[in-house]
Amino acid sequence: MKLSQAFRMAFRSVLANKLRTALSMLGMLIGVATVIALVSMSEGSSRQVQEQVESLGAANMLQVSITGRGLTTSLSKDEAMEYGDIDNVEGVSPIVNGSVYAKYGTTSESYTVEGITPEYADVRDVSFVEGRYIVDLDLTNYNKVALIGANVATDLFDTEDPVGQTILLNGNRYKVVGLLETKGDSLNGSADDKILIPLTTAERLLSSNGVKSIYLKIEDTGKSEETQALITAKLAAKFPSSTNAYRVVDQQESMETLGSITQTMTSMMAGIAMISLIVGGIGIMNIMLVSVTERTREIGIRKSLGAKRRDILTQFLIEAVAISGLGGVIGIVIGYIASNIIGVVMDTETAVSLAMVGEAFAFSAGVGVIFGIFPANKAARLRPVDALRHD
């Protein structure tokens, strides 16, 4: 029997029992749709985090956090800037940070404030869209000037131009000299909710004794480990016999770790959803076994007319694959629609890749083959005489 004839007969049999076929596909449909929806959410979140981290220039950045021990709990600005002399370090940005209440008119909100140096712009890749940046003269003269993020500007000034206005930070008057470029959310919170002021002024405002956070931009990421070792050695000299007084974090490693965690979560979600596909496959096997029992006489007649064992086997396998494959196609469409709805409702990014769709369809078709082999083989092994005797 030709393969095309086997396909025609298989599809005729499938369409002859539409309700039973639809119910058989249901488990496969739900499984594929669930896989597509869950994995698309995970992939979308992973891409969003990746974009956020890359937008912060994290791939070529090291972060030094200092907790200190005993009398020494921080570095001075000049000590922090000395780390720029280390080989492979392109830029240094010491930071003093904390939380303040910002007030303009009758509006008062709590925001993160960061005391920075002019190097912050290049190291952290943060620029302004209006006004000016922090300059060395602001640090030298302890100028009370500030750059504010997009959300801060909206909260405090609404539609009013913030540049040139005066705001109160914990009751101290600061002149807004610049508006920061919109950066969006990041792993450390929204970059648009920050207020930047001169580092020297921040030390007074926050009653901070020196610098406890330093960002270092490196030239060659391939030499990151060697650079970390040099930084650690310099810190060890500053904080002898106290390895817990500081921590050097490679943002690239953090990004890779995050990617690994996300991938693990994606695999777990996909694995859980795959259980639905297996259950759907068992349902298809049950229906095919029923079909074989109902069509025993038909099988006997076909065999008596010359149909070979492989012809019967092929037909029933095609029927099983057709049911699971069609369920997979419909599941892909529903999963794609569901992922878009989830993205809108939860205000999150989702991503349905062609590779994901191909794998989901291939798995659904594979389930049809695996769970269709037993009933197909049972049908193929029926002897014509026994089949024709069946009532």
Render 38-107 in DSSP notation, one character per residue. Answer: HHHHHHHHHHHHHHHHHHTTGGGEEEEEE--BTTB--B-HHHHHGGGGSTTEEEEEEEEEEEEEEEETTE
Residue 234 shares a structural domain with residue 122: yes
Asked whether the beta carbons of 380 and 310 are under 8 A apart, the reply is yes
Backbone φ, ψ for residue 273 (5° rounding): -70, -30
Residue 90 shares a structural domain with residue 189: yes
Among residues 210, 238, 266, the one where a domain terminates is 238
Whether residue 90 is contained in a domain is answered as yes
Q: What is the mean pLDDT of each run of 10 residues along the chain (391 residues)?
A: 64 73 79 81 71 59 78 82 90 92 92 93 87 94 94 91 94 95 65 91 90 89 85 86 78 65 71 74 79 72 74 78 84 87 78 78 81 77 61 52
Helix H, strand E, coil C: the string for 259-271 is HHHHHHHHHHHHH
Amino acid at 25: M
- In whole angstroms, what is the distance from residue 251 CA to residue 90 CA? 15
Helix (H, G, I), strand (E, B) or coil at 388: helix
Please list the residues that pair with 147 across neighbouring strands: 178, 196
Residue 261 shares a structural domain with residue 221: no
Q: What is the pLDDT of residue 41?
A: 78
Q: Is the pTM above the cut of 0.75?
A: no
Amino acid at 79: E
Please list the residues that pair with 292 across neighbouring strands: none
Whether residue 67 is contained in a domain is answered as no
Joined tokens for residue 303: 């065999």
- In whole angstroms, what is the distance from residue 358 CA to residue 353 CA? 9
Residue 297 shares a structural domain with residue 264: yes
Residue 291 shares a structural domain with residue 205: no
Residue 31 shares a structural domain with residue 86: no
Burial of 275 (0-12, 13-18, 19+ CB in 10 A): exposed
Whether residue 358 is contained in a domain is answered as yes
- In terms of Cα–Cα distance, which of 340, 222, 335, 196 is closest to 269? 335
Among residues 190, 208, 238, the one where a domain terminates is 238
Among residues 209, 238, 267, the one where a domain terminates is 238
Residue 233 shares a structural domain with residue 89: yes
Residue 180 shares a structural domain with residue 286: no
Q: What is the pLDDT of residue 115?
A: 94
Q: What is the pLDDT of residue 384?
A: 63
Whether residue 59 is contained in a domain is answered as no
Residue 226 shares a structural domain with residue 276: no
Residue 216 shares a structural domain with residue 309: no
Whether residue 320 is contained in a domain is answered as yes
Q: How many domains does the chain have?
A: 2
Q: Rounded to the nearest 10 degrees, what angle do helices 18-55 and 354-380 cross at?
A: 150
Residue 267 shares a structural domain with residue 381: yes
Residue with tokens 């002859």: 16
Residue with tokens 């943060």: 126
Whether residue 249 is contained in a domain is answered as no
Residue 320 shares a structural domain with residue 184: no
Q: Parallel, antiparallel, or unpaired for β 189-190 and 128-131?
A: unpaired
Joined tokens for residue 3: 């393969």
- In terms of Cα–Cα distance, which of 42, 144, 118, 79 is closest to 356? 42
Domain that holds residue 106: 73-238
Q: What is the pLDDT of residue 54?
A: 57
Whether residue 66 is contained in a domain is answered as no
- In whole angstroms, what is the distance from residue 15 CA to residue 28 CA? 17
Whether residue 103 is contained in a domain is answered as yes
Q: What is the pLDDT of residue 138?
A: 95
